[in-house]
Structure 1
Amino acid sequence: MRTPANHLLLLSAALCFGCSASEAIPPEHLDLCAYTLAFGDEFDTLSVAPKFIENGERWTAHTPWNGDFGDAMFSDPRPSWPFRVKDGILSITAFKDETGKWRSGLLAAADPKGRGWGVQYGYFEARMKLPPGPGTWPAFWLMSLQPASKLPKVEIDVIEYYGHMTDRYFATTHVWYADDDERVSTHDGSTIRVPEGSLTSDFHRYGVRVDAGNITYFLDGVEVWRQVTPEEIDTPLYPLVNLALGSGYPIDETPDPSVLEVDYVRVYKPSNDPEACRKKASEAPQ
């Protein structure tokens, strides 16, 4: 695996979460020894079902609530498209088919019946290289692992990237209630600034830690934003990764094809013995 670009260390400048400049605190650097791997996909092979997890598949190819989105149709897996695995890298390709319609792909680690994999509290990470060009809309995100019809649902967008804005991405948490619920859906997000073009020129690690107190977002292991955990997180959360197009932005200049590359998706749970991990790391040859 390649080392993340050094210029992203600029993100280690002091952050402040609702405090004055004099009270600014340095960003946290992720300590993975506090966690142990619970689930993951290194994409040596691809295990995806069109809709239902019935034979031990790791992924489905559509959102469990039948709510596909964007200006490219999320497609069932076919030989070599929209998903392709080679040398441990998953490629999700957006392209125009023989009729001129855009197609692309989404992977969700759950199905409409609430079957899937995830954890309630833990750390979630994907290592990805984003596609360049206007109109691209890749994302790595989490949703409540429960039957599709059940509400409320919590959505955590670890990264949403819009291809015409090459110096930033967006992290957001949504709490979705039913339209007839007296409670109102909420949306809380932040713009994460990065060196221009850096996310399409190399792979980077996009992560989020969820615990009972806070949701903490990381880029290449460095904290970039933090928010209070909503009380509605009372089920496991499962990961999704996709390459959508549009989101209200023009796609007439979107490159055909456009490719999102994913090295891995990993889900960690709290470790029972973090000190043993730290001791092993300290004794390893430098």
Structure 2
Amino acid sequence: MALLMPASLLMVSATTSADAADAPQNTTNARQAKAKGKAKLVAMPQIVQQGKKPASAGSAKAALTATIKPAKAGRPVALQVQKGKKWKTVSKTKLTKKGLAEFGAPISKGGKALTYRVTAAPYKGAKAVTSKPTTTERWLTASFSDDFTGSTLSPSWSNRGIYYEPDSLRECSKGDPSAVSVSGGTVKLSVIKDPTRANERCVAKKDGKSTGSFDYRLNGHIGTEGSVSMRYGFAAARIKTHKLRGQHGGFWMRPTTAGGGDPRAEIDVVEYFGDKHPQGGLTSFIYSTKNNKAVKTGSWIKSPTSFLKNKKDGWSKNYHVFSVEWTPKMYVFRIDGKETYRTKVGVSDQFQFPILSLLSSDYEISQMPGGDKKLPQTMNVDWVRLWQA
């Protein structure tokens, strides 16, 4: 059953076509008259919640994505919610070059699912089109949710990477509980100086060459291995990143040890390498194995500022929801419900568990402006949610 797509992921469509009696006589216009307009709408979980302060995961908005054909960039598209026998427009946007219209809207009212549809107005020769309704019912309840309330981690989480590991390119840093704290409804993952090695210096290396000597570091690095895992569905985390280069924050997933499988099967939902990074700082990667060889798929997220709300927004200034949609055939990555990247390469069929980390790897330590004096650096995570498909 886990291999079957949930009904709510199936995109629904409606079509319109020109009346044959009114079709123009010339060949070009005749083809246009026969062309069908299509509108498809998909409802997803609550993965839209940009904001300055911590907020309840339950108040996040559901993501809804419409695909409109013909794809005419700039075409007005409206999202409507059903109220009795009537439809009310709740949001408007314009079609992208790829024919997408992406929305964030409430997932429920009074605990009950909502039904939505999209309508696209006539535009540059394209006739008006309306999608069939789709409901948010499938995603009302997450299979795992942690809002990081209280002052300690829940039993679901444990610390990772607690040894200095040269083979993992972290000879100068290791995971430690003292770099993790819970307060104000968030878990704070930091890179701090290791007080037990205050009188020592570590020689950091990049590509086997020294980049200088630095303080030993402790990393915030936690996961739910042996406690919480999933296979297929959505995984999301609301994160406000750290600021400076020299370390990278991450929300990622690794396979459980039970059942064997590919030990390299890793899903890097998002990594952030600091403000003012020349390539924008955000990445999504997939690790897998093919023909006994390691395969790395993914890249720097293109035009990352286009996913910010405005010029005052920023990854280290405000919270954003980073998510992955995982099906048996594909990964789709999103920021606040807007697609950043998709791939069919290296899709895992194993159960995976979520990980949160702020890691200071040897190859990047020398990149931090101000060096050791700028420690600590901190990444804040407001909540984590999984929706098992």
* Superposed displacement of residue 168, structure 1: 3.7
Structure 2 residue 357 is matched with structure 1 residue 259: no
Please give the alpha-carbon distance, in whole angstroms, between the structure 2 residues aligned to 1:199 and 1:26: 24
Q: Which runs of 5+ in 1 are unaligned?
A: 7-13, 16-20, 49-56, 271-286
Q: Which runs of 5+ in 2 are unaligned?
A: 1-47, 53-65, 68-72, 74-95, 108-135, 199-214, 306-310
Pairing 1:185-264 to 2, within 5 Å after superposition: 185-192=294-301, 193-195=303-305, 198-228=314-344, 230=346, 233-246=348-361, 248-249=363-364, 250-251=366-367, 253=369, 254=371, 255-264=374-383
Q: Which amino acid aligns with 1:47?
A: L
Please give the alpha-carbon distance, in whole angstroms, between the structure 1 residues aligned to 2:344 and 2:377: 35
Which residue pairs with 1:279 in the alignment?
none
Which residue pairs with 2:184 in the alignment?
87
Which residue pairs with 1:172 in the alignment?
285
Q: 1:145 aligns with which of 256, 259, 270?
A: 256
Select between 88-97 and 247-256 the one with higher mean Cα deviation.
247-256
Q: 2:159 aligns with which of 61, 69, 72?
A: 61
Please give the alpha-carbon distance, in whole angstroms, between the structure 1 residues aligned to 2:184 and 2:323: 23
Which residue pairs with 1:101 in the alignment?
216
Which residue pairs with 2:148 in the alignment?
43
Q: Which amino acid aligns with 2:156?
A: R
Please give the alpha-carbon distance, in whole angstroms, between the structure 2 residues aligned to 1:215 and 1:247: 30
SS at match of 1:43: coil
Please give the alpha-carbon distance, in whole angstroms, between the structure 1 residues aligned to 2:346 and 2:327: 10
Q: TM-score, normalised by structure 2?
A: 0.54
Pairing 1:266-277 to 2, within 5 Å after superposition: 266-270=385-389
Which residue pairs with 1:53 in the alignment?
none
Change (3 A) 1:37 1:68: farther
Q: Which amino acid aligns with 2:190?
A: T
Runs (4+) of structure 1 moved beyond 6 Å? 64-67
* Superposed displacement of residue 151, structure 1: 3.5
| Equivalent residues of 2:179, 2:190 under 8 A apart | yes
Q: 1:131 aligns with which of 235, 242, 250?
A: 242
* Superposed displacement of residue 217, structure 1: 0.3
Higher relative contact order (CA 8 A, sep 6+): 1
Change (3 A) 1:150 1:96: same
Please give the alpha-carbon distance, in whole angstroms, between the structure 1 residues aligned to 2:101 and 2:340: 7
* Superposed displacement of residue 27, structure 1: 6.3
| Equivalent residues of 1:71, 1:245 under 8 A apart | no
| Equivalent residues of 1:30, 1:223 under 8 A apart | no
* Superposed displacement of residue 176, structure 1: 4.3
Please give the alpha-carbon distance, in whole angstroms, between the structure 1 residues aligned to 2:231 and 2:102: 21
Alpha-carbon RMSD across the aligned residues, in angstroms, is 3.4
Q: Which amino acid aligns with 1:172?
A: F
| Equivalent residues of 1:125, 1:206 under 8 A apart | yes
Encode CA deviations 1:111-162: one digit per residue, 9 max, x unaligned.
xxxx231111010011111111121211111111225986443111111111
Change (3 A) 1:76 1:162: closer
Larger Rg: 2
Change (3 A) 1:203 1:252: closer
SS at match of 2:265: strand
Please give the alpha-carbon distance, in whole angstroms, between the structure 1 residues aligned to 2:145 and 2:171: 29
Select between 249-258 and 65-74 the one with higher mean Cα deviation.
65-74
| Equivalent residues of 1:161, 1:170 under 8 A apart | yes
| Equivalent residues of 2:236, 2:321 under 8 A apart | yes
- % identical aligned pairs: 20
- In terms of fraction of residues, the more strand-rich structure is 2
Encode CA deviations 1:12-32: one digit per residue, 9 max, x unaligned.
xx99xxxxx998342655797
Please give the alpha-carbon distance, in whole angstroms, between the structure 1 residues aligned to 2:333 and 2:227: 23
